[in-house]
Structure 1
Amino acid sequence: MKERAVTDLMEAEKARAAEWFVGLRDRIVAAFEELELSQTSGPLADQPPGRFEVSRTRRAAPEGEDAGGGLMSVMRGGRVFEKVGVNVSTVFGALGAEAQAAMAARRGLPGMTEDPRFWASGISLVAHMQNPHCPAVHMNTRMFWTPHGWWFGGGADLNPCIEYDGDTAHFHEVLKAHCEPHGAGEYDRLKAWADDYFHIPHRGRARGVGGIFLDDHCTGDWEADFAFVRDIGSAFLPAYLPLVERRRGMDWDAEEKEIQLVHRGLYAEYNLVYDRGTKFGLATGHDANAVLMSLPPMAKWV
């Protein structure tokens, strides 16, 4: 009976996490569409406001087997956003041999080969902007479960092609304020982790101006860990929206657009070569269009 009670509790916790990610997705989609509607002056203000196109995604699985899926919400060619995707999904099944080995190595879970079941839920967002003065941005939060353990991950990082010190400071200040309730040193730890994770080795540089990154997070206190990942997600809109509102009315020229397109090449290189989420999504059979949603609509290489 005790084992069943523990199982039932974890099922309830998984449901709570999945519901939270959907709610965060809804708030962000609404806020981004409101930005489009309120862009009534400046460049591109005379074109129709962008709206999200929403489609269902499914994880590939043997015929007749339910392996979960989610919602892919993409806006293209708006007044403010050139391309933005906000995806939410809950997927489950059995990890393949490659994913089992990676999980066992990273998490120290040798039992994955005997029982490779998994469950994962989360939200992933990437925004590429029309205006080169508006920074691109990435955010995600997630929960992962196996019979051998559960953990959370998430973070956000800012990717301006034209940097403004005040924008970078604001973004980091808001992230820090949301991390501090979870420990005095947590922001510094997650910032350093982001600096390391979002580094592009073959370019010898970061892909942006940093943020926070957290993975494999399990203190053993599910409620505390869930609260931490919720605060990471809740930090996103107050950290990012003021930057867009500050920059979206600025004029730009062809040289600045060129800088933006070349900088996007860095983003594409990183996501295709190094990003752990991209590799996991493709390796586990999730919808390829949803996994690759993060790629920019246009980019250049010199």
Structure 2
Amino acid sequence: MNDASAPTFAPTTWRHRFAATVLAAIGIAAIAVWPVHATTASDVAKSDAPADGETAPAAALPTPVEPPSPAVPDLSALRTALAEFQCAELEVAVGKDQRVAISGLTAGDTDPDSLALLAQDYVTGQRAAVEIERASPALCEPLTLIGALRTSNAGLAAPVSIRLEGGAGTVFNGGQDLVFDVAAPDFPAHLQVDYFTADGDVIHLLPNPLEVSGRVDAGSVRRLGERGAGGRFWSIGPPYGHELIVVIASPTPLFAAPRPEAEPASSYLPALKQALDAAPPATVATARFLKTRAP
């Protein structure tokens, strides 16, 4: 039995040996190949590393892309449109957030929503922020009366102007002196300076009993209300609120005889209209609101 079984298992033993030999050869080949790839990767890594004592180069950072600056809207057409509101003193500007803002004061029936809608017609795709204060409707009448003269004045190279101490938006407190300058237009003129109060009166600041002539040279500046200058001076008093200064510059005096220093606006305005109807064509005017309050 031993001799008979030996040949039976011999081929099987050979196959196992052959398989073992083949597997061993494959394993050696795999071991031989693997270090080659590992070495190649190591060499690449070593080639990128800095040598001893050298500084590694800084990685290149992407250049930041700055967002484009928003375009500043052109407000010239809107300003022209706002100037058509005769009973208002309106300003328009662009804020830091690039939003259009309309501010000022009105004695008429101008409403903020209408102004915001108007702005949309001139500034595409933007609704303006509107913040306006309201003055007495009685102040609308003198502004309407001089509306055409204000338009003519705005077209002059050197228009007549009112310069309040502290600039636009200054608030005058009770007891404070009213002091301001009037810049004459570019022709010798006679100034009529009127102060319309919140309660319906008008005070004629120039001419006045101490300064019977309102004549000024072309381009000159005349200060009114300064104490010690030899002329009239005025202090702010009640009633408080929004009031109005009107300056009319004409080549000849508007009135042949002096007006009372103070009178009801309702008596003065018809006389002023009559005087303006007869005034020379070069006559121009300007106006400025101011706000007064209790001390």
Shorter-chain TM-score tier:
under 0.3
Structure with the greater alpha carbon radius of gyration: 2
**Larger relative contact order (Cα-Cα within 8 Å, sequence gap ≥ 6):** 1
- What TM-score, normalized by structure 1, do the two folds share? 0.23
More helix per residue:
1
